[in-house]
Structure 1
Amino acid sequence: MKKTLSLLLFVSSAALADDAAVLQCRALPDAASRLACYDAMPLGATAATPAAATAVAASPRMPSPAAPPAIAGFGSETVKKKVDDLPKSMDSTVVGDFEGWGPNTRIRLANGQVWRVIDDSSAVLPRRSNTKVRIERNLFGTLFLSVEGTNSSAKVRRVE
C-alpha cells in the first residue's frame, strides 16, 4: 500500500511539473514563440525545462500579418477564440441562380466566400437569382446558413 501511495505521489508531481511548463508556454504572447515553446517541451520527462521555454520566449518575434476586416475573415478562423469575440452573423447573396442544397454542396457568395454544407440537411427551393442568405453563429460557435424567406438552414463550414 505504501509503495502504491508513493508511486502516485511521484506521478502526480511529474504531472504538476509538466503543467508548469505548459502554463509558461501558454503565457507567451506570440503564436510562433508559443508553438516553439510547446515543441521544445520534452515528452515523457518528469520535470519541465523552464530554460528551453525562456530561450524560446527571448527569440525575436515574427511580424504578425495585418488583421483583415471582421467580415472578410468570417468563418475562416483556425484558432479557437472566445465565441463572444467573434461576429455573430454575416449577410450576403448567393452568386447566380440558387435552387437549394444537399450534403456537401458548395455555395459561393457575392463577397467571394465559399461555404460547404457539412450536415445531412437538404432543401429544394424555387429557383431564385441573387438569393439573400445569412450565416449565423450559434451559442457554441457552430455556423448555420439560412435563406431569406424560408425556415430551412444548413450547418456550414467556410472552405474559401
Structure 2
Amino acid sequence: MKQALSLLLFVSGAALADDAAVLKCRALPDAASRLACYDAMPVGAAPALAAAPATAPATAPIAAPAVAATPEQRFGLNPVVQKKQEAQADTIQSTVAGKIDGWSVGSRITLANGQVWRVIEGDAVLPALSNPKAEVSRGLLGAYFLQIVGHNSTARVKRVQ
C-alpha cells in the first residue's frame, strides 16, 4: 500500500512540473519562441493542457475542400465528407460509360455522370453491352450495390471518384 501511494505521489509531482512548463510556454507572446519552448520540453511529458486558457489568438481553421453540390454527386462518398443532416438519395441511375461485358473483384466501372466505382465483391459475365443503364443502390451498413438494368447480376461496389 505504501509503495502504491509513493508511486502516485511521484507521478503526480512529475505531472505538476510538466504543467508548469506548459504554462510557461503559453505565456510567451511570440509564436516562434513559444514553439521553441514546446520543442524543448521532455518527450514523455503528458501535461493537462486545459489548465489555463491560451494567450495567443487562435488561427483560422483551414477550409475543407469543396464538396459536390447535389445529392446525386455526393452519392457514395465517404460519410465523413457528407454532412449528416443532409438528405441522401437511396439510389442513383446512370449509364455505364462505354462498353461492358461483366466485372470481377477490382474492376472499375465508370458511369456517365463521372462517378467511378470499384467492385469489391461479386463477379458477372454479361453479353457485350454498350452504354447500358445502371443503378447503384445503398445497402445496409454503408454498402453500395451496382446492377445493370435488365440483368440479375449485382456487385458490391465502393466509390473511388
> How high is the TM-score relative to the length of structure 1?
0.59
Amino acid corresponding to residue 123 of structure 2 in structure 1: S
Alignment-mate amino acid for residue 94 of structure 1? V
| C-alpha contact (below 8 Å) 1:133/1:147 kept by paired residues | yes
Q: CA deviation at 1:83?
A: 7.4
**Residue 59 (structure 2) pairs with residue 59 (structure 1):** yes
Aligned pair count?
A: 129
Q: TM-score, normalised by structure 2?
A: 0.59
Offset at residue 108 of structure 1 (A): 1.0
Check conservation: 2:67, 2:81, Cα contact below 8 A: no
Q: How far apart, CA to CA, are the structure 2 residues paired with 1:127 and 1:53?
A: 66
Larger of the two Rg values belongs to structure:
2
Q: Which residue of 2 aligns with 1:96?
A: 98
Distance 1:102 1:56 in 2: 55
Gaps of 5+ in 2: 12-42
For 2:3 and 2:57, the matched residues in 1 are separated by 40
The question of whether the paired residues in 1 share the 8 Å contact of 2:74 and 2:82 is answered with no
CA contact (8 A) 1:95 1:109 kept: yes
Matches within 5 A, 1:1-150: 48-50=48-50, 58-69=58-69, 70-77=71-78, 79=80, 85=86, 86-119=88-121, 121-150=122-151
Q: Answer whether contact 1:83 1:141 (CA < 8 A) is retained.
A: no
User: Does the 8 Å contact 1:75/1:157 carry over to 2?
Assistant: yes
Conservation of the 8 A alpha-carbon contact between 1:91 and 1:134: yes
Segments of 5+ residues of structure 1 without an aligned counterpart are 11-42
* CA distance in structure 1 between the aligned counterparts of 2:131 and 2:49, rounded to whole angstroms: 58
- Percent identical pairs in the alignment equals 42
